[in-house]
Amino acid sequence: MQSQSVSLLMFNRNENEGIIRNVKLLHSAVDEIVIIDSSDPEKYKQLKSSLKNFKVKVKLFSTLPLGYADPLQYYGLNKTSSHYVLALDSDEEPSRELIKKIKKRNFLYNVYDVLEKDENGRTLWYKPMLFVKDSINKITGIIHTSTEFNEKPKKLSPKAFVIHHEKLTRSSVNKNYMEIENYEKPIKIYIEDLKKRRKFVGNLLSFTYDLPKPINVYLTAFEIGFGGSIINNLQYGISNLNLHYVIPLITKYNINKIKIFNNLSKEEQELRIKIAKEIQECGGVIKYLGLDKDYIVENLTKTFKWDMSGVEAFRRLLLYRHSHNKPAYKFPY
């Protein structure tokens, strides 16, 4: 039997409380803990100090912030040494049953979907959080669709869930994600992609996008949410979704995202569409920005002055790559 060792991999941006909570809960259940920390320097120092007294090996790496964790997934996975990876965000808290499952190490499959619930106990969705690294087919770094596996995930027991704290309703996070999506998959690119993958939904999107505003905004947002998220989840065998709760959240999110894109100048819209197409042609944002090379991540971090938001840092790297036709080696000020 292959090793069933487990690395806990977490990404952090100024949310030390959640990281420390998860370390306390899981340090006796895993073989190592790897933290990719994009916190401001003072927060990084505080986290480093708080992690000194745990017996399990904790590896802490400082990286520049990029507005979301996905572009650093490849870098983070490279820092793990166990056979399995348990990937949690700082706002995801494991249940007691999930901790027990990790301790028992009786894994039969390579990829497991873990149920997420909100703080009120409502079911959100399943997503792959426990997996063998070799089961990954591709990591694109593109928001919400970053990791593709070689095989269909198996659902872990619904009792072995994680609690998702606040993230779905935090307006600051949502605003950042909308900005990122409008570079990686602006509405016109998203429609083209859905046409290729889901003909029926894609045709609906084409129809509604040509309707007068604001009708097209609402319908397009709903269908992106339903076609891009819910149907996608169902085709991978994910069920028991709380549709009455999840669909309105996704629809509201996409309404605001579309409005932001439509309010951009024509020149800016065209620029973002060009960048999105370049990202697609390159196989994702990780390769587009050269973040599949550890030395580039580390040199960008070394030359970053911690004087701007992660979204702004991400935007500057995209614009540099687009203008120079190569990734930045030093942070482009």
- Kindly state whether residue 217 falls inside one of the protein's structural domains: no
pLDDT at 77: 97
- Kindly state whether residue 23 falls inside one of the protein's structural domains: yes
- Kindly state whether residue 312 falls inside one of the protein's structural domains: no
- Kindly state whether residue 202 falls inside one of the protein's structural domains: no
Instruction: Give first-to-last CA distance, the chain, whole Å.
Output: 51
Residue type (1 letter), 235? Q
* Closest to 317 in 3D by CA, of 292, 300, 299, 298: 300
Helical ranges in the chain per DSSP H:
16-26, 41-50, 73-78, 96-104, 171-184, 187-197, 199-209, 215-224, 231-235, 243-262, 266-282, 285-288, 294-303, 310-324
pLDDT at 134: 92
User: Given a cut of 80, is residue 162 above it in pLDDT?
Assistant: yes
Q: Please give the mean pLDDT across all residues of the chain.
A: 83
- Kindly state whether residue 27 falls inside one of the protein's structural domains: yes
Is the link from the previous residue into 214 a cis peptide, with omega within 30 of 0? yes
User: Given a cut of 60, is residue 283 above it in pLDDT?
Assistant: yes
User: Given a cut of 60, is residue 160 above it in pLDDT?
Assistant: yes
* Closest to 126 in 3D by CA, of 100, 151, 92, 161: 161
Q: What is the mean pLDDT of residues 18-22?
A: 95
The predicted model scores a pTM of: 0.85
With cut-offs at 50, 70 and 90, classify the pLDDT of residue 258. Answer: confident
Q: CB of 237 within 8 A of CB of 155?
A: yes
- Kindly state whether residue 74 falls inside one of the protein's structural domains: yes
- Kindly state whether residue 234 falls inside one of the protein's structural domains: no
Burial 226-245 (b: 16+ CB within 10 A, else e): bbbbbbbbeeeebeebeeee
User: Given a cut of 50, is residue 109 above it in pLDDT?
Assistant: yes
Q: How far apart are alpha carbons 174 and 176 in whole angstroms?
A: 5
> How many CB atoms sit inside 10 A of residue 58's CB?
18
User: Given a cut of 60, is residue 251 above it in pLDDT?
Assistant: yes
Give the strand pairing for 6-12 and 84-89.
Answer: parallel
pLDDT at 49: 92
Q: Return the CATH number at 121.
A: 3.90.550.10
- Kindly state whether residue 198 falls inside one of the protein's structural domains: no
Give the strand pairing for 136-139 and 92-94.
Answer: unpaired
| Domains identified in the chain, total number | 1
What is the domain range of residue 108? 6-167
pLDDT at 244: 57
Q: Lowest mean pLDDT of 90-94, 101-105, 164-168, 226-230, name the range.
A: 226-230
